[in-house]
Amino acid sequence: MEDIKNGIIGELGTPSEFFEAFMSYIDLSKTSLFISAASILFNPTFWNIVARLEYNTHALTKIAGSAKKGCYALAVTIFSLGIVRDILYERALRDQPYCARLDIPPTKMLAVLLFVYGNVLVLSSMWALGVTGTYLGDYFGILMDDRVTGFPFNITNNPMYYGSFLSFVGTALWYCKPAGIVLSGLVLVMYLIALQFEEPFTGEIYAKRERERAAAADGKKSK
């Protein structure tokens, strides 16, 4: 425990001293840091705008020829952007100062645990939802029959987002780069913002389906 205390945070001092020490490991002169941040900002913004556009205009469905093909095209695009974001993140970490205090066994163990657990959340949620469930199929009118409540959704409603965040933190700790922790925080903030738009809108999509089903059932009864 003493190793963790001294190795990870050292002597904290006052909050301003800790902040100054932490910021000393972040090189703001490196362009790669801002390129990585821009990618993190862009990805969820992009897929939310495109998904809303599809819902309102069916543009991707018309271009691709069907809702399923349009959803798969968006899935490939989002997945590719995610790979680019991860590459830019790794390059940004390479350019940032190394913190020797983080280079101790407990930190490495924590980094591995966070990375593995984060990826388990991401991959298991993708398995549970399938391609269309993972990549905004509901905006294309491809709705799931029932809400997924098994693992990992019995842990959190948004395992892919939180799992991705944990993977970013784990990577930052493994390479002992405090700048990575800042970028990881930006990932979490962007996901939380995205959820403010996605969850109510998705909820309304399914609520609309239930209203239509109820209206159809009432119509049959009246006949």
pTM of the entire predicted model: 0.88
Nearest in space to 137 (alpha carbons), one of 45, 207, 72:
72
Q: Which amino acid is at 219?
A: G
Q: Which amino acid is at 185?
A: G
Q: Which amino acid is at 14?
A: T
**Size of the chain, expressed as the number of residues it contains:** 223
Give the Cα separation of 164 and 150 in Å (integer): 19
Match 């910021």 to its residue by tokens. 23
Establish whether the linkage from the previous residue to 152 is cis, with ω within 30° of 0.
yes
For the stretch 102-138, pLDDT in tens is 999 999 999 999 999 999 999 999 999 999 999 999 9
Give the Cα separation of 207 and 152 in Å (integer): 23
For the stretch 3-16, pLDDT in tens is 444 544 454 567 78
The domain ranges of the chain are 2-222
**In this structure, are residues 178 and 26 in contact, taking their beta carbons and an 8 Å threshold?**
yes
Residue 15's pLDDT is: 79
**In this structure, are residues 123 and 190 in contact, taking their beta carbons and an 8 Å threshold?**
no
Residue 222's pLDDT is: 64
Annotated binding-site residue? 163: no
Annotated binding-site residue? 50: no
Annotated binding-site residue? 116: yes
Per the structure block, which two tokens stand in for 32?
């790669």
Annotated binding-site residue? 130: no
Residue 21's pLDDT is: 84
What element of type H or E holds 17? helix 15-23
Phi then psi dihedrals of residue 123, to 5 deg: -70, -40
Give the Cα separation of 174 and 2 in Å (integer): 20
* Pairs from 207-214 (Cβ < 8 Å, separation ≥ 24): 209/143
DSSP state of 7: I
Residue 1's pLDDT is: 43
DSSP state of 139: G
Q: Which residues of the chain have pLDDT under 50?
A: 1-5, 7-9, 11
Annotated binding-site residue? 191: no
Nearest in space to 71 (alpha carbons), one of 24, 18, 132:
132
With vertex at residue 167, the alpha carbon angle to CA 43 and CA 94, rounded to the nearest 5 degrees, is 80
